[in-house]
Structure 1
Amino acid sequence: MFAVVRLLIFLLLLGAIGCFAAYLVTRERRYFRIGAAIVKWTVIAGLVFFGVLFVERLLQA
Structure 2
Amino acid sequence: MLVFRTLVFLLMVAGLLSFAVYLATGEARWRRLGLLIVRWTVIAALGFFAVLLLQRLALVL
TM bin (shorter chain) = 0.7 to 0.9
Runs of 4+ in 1 over 3 A off after TM superposition: none
Partner of 1:17: 16
User: AA paired with 2:56?
Assistant: R
Query: How far 1:31 moved relative to its partner?
Result: 0.3
Aligned-pair Cα RMSD in Å: 1.5
TM-score when normalising by structure 2: 0.79
- Number of equivalenced pairs: 60
| Percent of aligned pairs with the same amino acid | 50
| Structure 1 unpaired stretches of 5+ | none
Partner of 1:48: 47
RCO (CA 8 Å, sep 6+): is it higher in 1 or 2? 2
| Structure 2 unpaired stretches of 5+ | none
Partner of 1:28: 27
Partner of 2:56: 57
TM-score when normalising by structure 1: 0.79
Query: How far 1:55 moved relative to its partner?
Result: 2.3
Indicate how the Cα distance of structure 1 residues 5 and 52 shifts in structure 2: closer, same or farther if over 3 A, else same: closer
Query: How far 1:8 moved relative to its partner?
Result: 1.8
